[in-house]
Chains A and B, each alone.
Chain A
Amino acid sequence: MKKKIVSLLLVAMMAAGLVACGGNNGNGNKANETSGNETSEAGGEEEADKEEAGGEETETEEAGGEEAAGGNYEGVELTYWSMWANTEPQGKVIQAAVDKFQEETGAKVTIEWKNRDVKDILNSALESKENIDLFEDDYKRIAQNYAPYVADLSEMAEAAGYADKSYAVFQTQQKAWAQKKTGSEKFTSLAEQPQVGGIFYRKDLFEKAGVEVPTTWTEFMEVCKTLKENGIQPLALDSAYASFAFGYHLSRYVPEETISEMSKEGGWSSNADVAAAADSMIEFVNAGYLADGAPDEYPNSQNKIGMSDEVAMVICANYVTTEVNNTTKVELDWGLFNYPGVEGKDDLAASAYAGANSIAITDYCENKQAAFDLAMMIVTGENDQQMANDAGQIPADPANTAPASQNGTVEVLKATTSPLAWNMGIGENADLYPKLDECVIQLFEGKFATGADFAKALDGLY
């Protein structure tokens, strides 16, 4: 009898354990069912196109609702997946903005701090219509990978006058990507953390050496020569950014589309400009213009800019200045100039790398206007200024002021109309990229005698 009771208790415990373990999934499924049912209610029980129509209907109602537009969101609940941690400066500013939003509108916002790995789980979460109203990620990934699952913000953005509170470059770019992916020019996200690339330099060291910002490669080589003569090592370079640096250089000789094409199909040797670009870089390396030990392991070389008064420049995106300042605990006098162009290629001289981490709203969000208002509160005005100051980044709202570490970035970003991609097309072939990148690092290591050898090595990978 005792054995039977013990056995029954054990079975009951196992069953209870299983139910408890499956509890979360069960709830998750329930939540999914709820949104699924609601989508069905709005769009009927037809296929996806009808569901989309239903979604638009809800959106129009919300957008048109006076209460929503007036900002009274009593009873509205939003879930916000953030790519930051709540201990980071960005996280703290977002938390403050959300607190303010809740206080002003009566809405209840739950922030889930997902950190950078959010990119690995977002797609699955969006596909299964998990309870997310707004989220952050790279704007390119939002416009390309998540475009089918995010709301078109065009109407709300127009009503809020967003065009005057943001950089045009991000809107045009993401609309073009979304067009490719979904067939419509969807406006998928609001830029929260703009980025721009170029050559970041220490103004004080330039002044000490008596050199001016160069605009052409010849002038740049002259600047490097003078810096070196004054005991200053011209350029820091970590191997992690080798392809970014050489990609910038190559983009002054060859259009980015051609680089992308060569990255996918090969043919580097057949383009004389590739060898010419590599030759000029070999000349740069052989002249000893790289900092001691470069290409070094990230972030050793870039940190030398702050740890000594011996290294003047680095090619990277704007966050490098904040990274160096934070790591070395020195507030450096930074400046930025666009990567110099080469003679005879004036049409390729003006472009710059630009990117952004952005905020998107899910297409199944039931309170899109509330979510949009919250996103706008974060990316414009006081909160954006606070974010720029505390996180040392470019303000998303051009009306705000860039902190000292971001000197010159707003001007370059405003002047950028067709931005270069990360690595300027070299990374277009994701599968082959590690091997291409290795060749580029070897170029900086001085392993190639001529540009033709470098181009041949690249072609050898296909």
Chain B
Amino acid sequence: MKSKKNRLFIIAFTLPCALSLFIMYLYPIVRTVIMSFFGVESVTARMSEWSFNGIANYQKIFSSPTFHQAIRNMALIWIVGGILVLSFALLFAVILTSGIRFKKFFRAAIYLPNVISAVALATMWIQYIYNQEYGLLNKFLEALGLEGKNWMGTDMKFWAMLVAFVFGAVGYYMLIFINGIERISGDIFEAATIDGANKIQQFFSITMPLLRSIFKTNITFWSINCISFFLWSKMFAPVNTEASTVVPVVYLYDTVFGTTGNVTRDAGAGAAIGVVLSLFIAVVYFIMNKVIKDDDLEF
């Protein structure tokens, strides 16, 4: 009798959540996957207006040079940006947990760009750092007697955007690393010091192996961050989408809603892009779980 009542309570508590999950997440996912195989103009068009396309939407996006460029840009952000962000984040985390003075100040200063709106941050980089006439970089080059450069030209714009984005992202990952390092008991480092290990040896033999789960978390967060990369691309190409800064989500947005001066929409192809991006996240997550094992350590 009691277990029946308990079951009733369990159902009463879980049902609203399960229903919300079903309606808010599962239904759109299923609809998007189905939509990716149909010719659909408007994203909210009735299913009766859809026409079966087979894999034509996938063929369309995979043969599009703009989609190739978007994937290339995203991959570069993921790999190059990832190496830069995680390296700097780890470096700062190690320095800040090594007992330096003004730790709180430096931690806050490095995290600060995460508090500032990305729009303000991007504007600052575009107008005050990359500006050809009065930007910090060209003024610096000028002071050295060198010629200034158009940092926002087609050959440099992507890298300019990446550097600005990396600058804003380091603090977030640094905090996660700090948390991971502080979790490691001081006794381990003390014992290593007594055994004669120097700081570098301690870092590679103790800190790094014990941060494996944190690395996995950070790489997963970074991957999701890269796949949903949108605002920075829009800020660096505010009027039209440009090849140097296009990323898959911007390409998806343009495909679904049309572009400046062109009102053509293709929600079916947009859905196909969404499905490809979701698969990409799933693959990254799967590889991370396979490559980085963190369940063999206890400390």
- Residues of chain A at the chain B interface (Cβ within 8 Å): 7, 10-11, 14-15, 18, 119-120, 123-124, 127-128, 138, 140-141, 144-145, 239-241, 243, 292-293, 295-298, 300, 421-423, 427-428, 430-435, 437-438, 441-442, 445, 447, 461
Contact = CB atoms under 8 A, between A and B. Distances in A.
Contacts of A423: 261
Contacts of A120: 257
B154 interface: yes
A101 B16 CA distance: 47
Nearest to B43: A124
Contact of B65 (A10, A239, A296, A432): A432
A421 B260 CA distance: 11
A141 B150 contact: no
Q: Is the interface of B mostly helix, strand, loop or mixed?
A: loop
Contacts of A11: 9, 12-13
A7 B150 CA distance: 65
Contact of A434 (B130, B153, B240): B240
Contact of B243 (A127, A435, A445): A435
A145 B265 contact: yes
Contacts of A7: 9
25 contacts: A11-B12, A15-B16, A18-B20, A127-B42, A127-B44, A144-B263, A145-B263, A241-B239, A292-B133, A296-B152, A297-B126, A298-B239, A427-B260, A431-B60, A431-B255, A433-B241, A433-B262, A434-B243, A434-B246, A435-B65, A437-B243, A438-B154, A441-B242, A447-B154, A461-B65
Main secondary structure of the interface of A (DSSP, over half): helix
B51 interface: no
Contacts of A461: 65
Interface in B257-272: 257-265
Interface in B1-57: 9, 12-13, 16, 20, 42-46
B186 interface: no
Nearest to A355: B261
A432 B254 CA distance: 11
B282 to A, nearest CB: 26
B223 interface: no
Contact of B66 (A240, A422, A432): A432
Nearest to B131: A300
B44 A433 contact: no
A274 to B, nearest CB: 19
Nearest to A18: B16
B126 A430 contact: no
Given A128-B44, A239-B242, A241-B239, A119 B261 contact: no
Given A127-B45, A431-B66, A435-B69, A14 B260 contact: no
B193 interface: no
B261 to A, nearest CB: 3
Given A296-B150, A422-B262, 11 more contacts: A18-B20, A127-B42, A296-B152, A427-B260, A428-B262, A430-B262, A431-B64, A431-B255, A432-B64, A432-B66, A438-B154
Given A127-B42, A427-B261, A430-B259, A435 B131 contact: no
A438 B154 CA distance: 7
Interface residues of B, number: 44
**Residue from B9, B16, B261, B263 with most neighbouring chain A CB atoms (10 Å):** B261
A462 to B, nearest CB: 8
Contacts of B64: 431-432
Nearest to A296: B132
A240 B154 CA distance: 12
A292 B134 CA distance: 13
A55 to B, nearest CB: 18
B192 to A, nearest CB: 50
Contacts of A239: 152, 154, 242
Interface in B72-108: none
What are the 9 tightest A-B residue pairs by CB atom distance, in nearest-first order? A422-B261, A240-B239, A438-B243, A124-B44, A297-B152, A434-B243, A293-B132, A430-B262, A141-B263
A46 B203 CA distance: 75
Interface in B142-168: 150, 152-154
A128 B45 CA distance: 10
A434 B68 CA distance: 12
Nearest to B70: A434
Contacts of A14: 13, 16
B238 interface: yes
Contacts of B244: 438
A270 B13 CA distance: 69
Nearest to B256: A120
Contact of A119 (B60, B255, B257, B264): B257
A442 B259 CA distance: 21
A138 B262 CA distance: 11
Nearest to A441: B154
Contacts of B263: 138, 140-141, 144-145
Nearest to B23: A22
Contacts of B44: 123-124, 127-128
A300 B262 contact: no
B133 A243 contact: no
Nearest to A128: B44
B150 A293 contact: yes
Contacts of A145: 42, 258, 263, 265
Nearest to A263: B262
A11 B237 CA distance: 49
Contacts of B238: 240, 298
A434 B150 CA distance: 20
A434 B46 CA distance: 30
Contacts of A128: 44
A240 B254 CA distance: 16
Contacts of B153: 295, 445
A461 B243 CA distance: 12
A20 B7 CA distance: 26
Contacts of B259: 427, 430, 433
B242 A434 contact: yes
Nearest to B250: A434
Contact of B258 (A298, A430, A434, A447): A430
B31 to A, nearest CB: 14
Given A297-B152, A441-B154, A123 B132 contact: no
B209 to A, nearest CB: 44
B262 A437 contact: no
A123 B42 contact: yes
